Amino acid sequence: MTHFSALSLLRHAVRRTKPWTSQWPDAQPKAEYDVVIVGAGGHGLGAAYYLAREHGITNVAVIDKGWLGGGNTGRNTTIIRSNYLYDESARLYDHAVDLWDGLAQELNYNVMFSKRGVMMLAHTVHDVQSFQRHVHSNRLNGVDNAWLTPQQAQEFCPPLDISRSARYPVLGAALQRRAGTARHDAVAWGYARAAAARGVDIIQNCPVTAIRRGADGAVTGVETARGVIRARKVAVSAAGHTSVVMDSAGLRLPLESFPLQALVSEPVKPVFPCVVMSNAVHAYISQSDKGELVIGSGTDQYTSYSQRGGLPLIEHTLASICEIFPLFTRMRMLRKWGGIVDVTPDRSPILGKTPVPGLYVNCGWGTGGFKATPGAAHLLAHTIARDAPHPINAPFTLDRFRTGRLIDEAAAAAVAH
Ligand X SMILES: Cc1cc2nc3c(=O)[nH]c(=O)nc-3n(C[C@H](O)[C@H](O)[C@H](O)COP(=O)(O)OP(=O)(O)OC[C@H]3O[C@@H](n4cnc5c(N)ncnc54)[C@H](O)[C@@H]3O)c2cc1C
Residue 237: its H or E element: none
d(CA 102, CA 90): 19
For 301, residues 6+ apart whose C-beta sits below 8 A from its C-beta are none
Contacts (Cβ under 8 Å, ≥6 apart) of 37: 44, 47, 48, 60, 61, 62, 63, 234, 235, 237
- Minimum CB distance to ligand X, residue 279 (Å): 13
Closest approach of Cβ 217 to ligand X, in Å? 21
> Residue 324 — φ and ψ, nearest 5°?
-80, -35
Name the residue nearer to ligand X (CB basis): 358 or 368: 368
Nearer to ligand X, 80 or 162 (CB): 80
CA atoms lying within 13 Å on the CB side of residue 10: 3
Q: What is the largest CA-CA distance in the chain?
A: 68
Enclosing H/E stretch for 400: helix 400-403
Of the pair 79, 162, the CB lying nearest ligand X is at 79
CB of 71 to ligand X, least distance (A): 2
| Backbone phi, psi, residue 368, to 5° | -135, 35
Q: Nearest approach, Cβ of 68 to ligand X (angstroms)?
A: 7
| Nearer Cβ to ligand X (162/249) | 249
The CB-of-243 to ligand X minimum distance in angstroms stands at 10
Alpha-carbon distance of 20 to 370, in angstroms, equals 29
Cβ atoms within 10 A of the Cβ of 385, count?
A: 18
Least spacing, CB of residue 15 vs ligand X, in Å:
36
Eight-state DSSP code of residue 413: T
Q: In angstroms, give the least distance from the CB of 377 to ligand X.
A: 8
**Closest CB to ligand X among 157 and 222?**
222
Q: In the complex with ligand X, which residue's Cβ is closer, 162 or 251?
A: 251
Residue 96, helix vs strand vs coil: helix
Residue nearer to ligand X on the CB measure, 162 or 264: 264
- The CA radius of gyration of the chain, in Å to the nearest whole number, is 21
Site residues for ligand X per CB under 6 A:
38-44, 63-66, 70-73, 75-79, 207-208, 237-239, 241, 245, 260-262, 296, 339, 341, 365, 367-371, 417
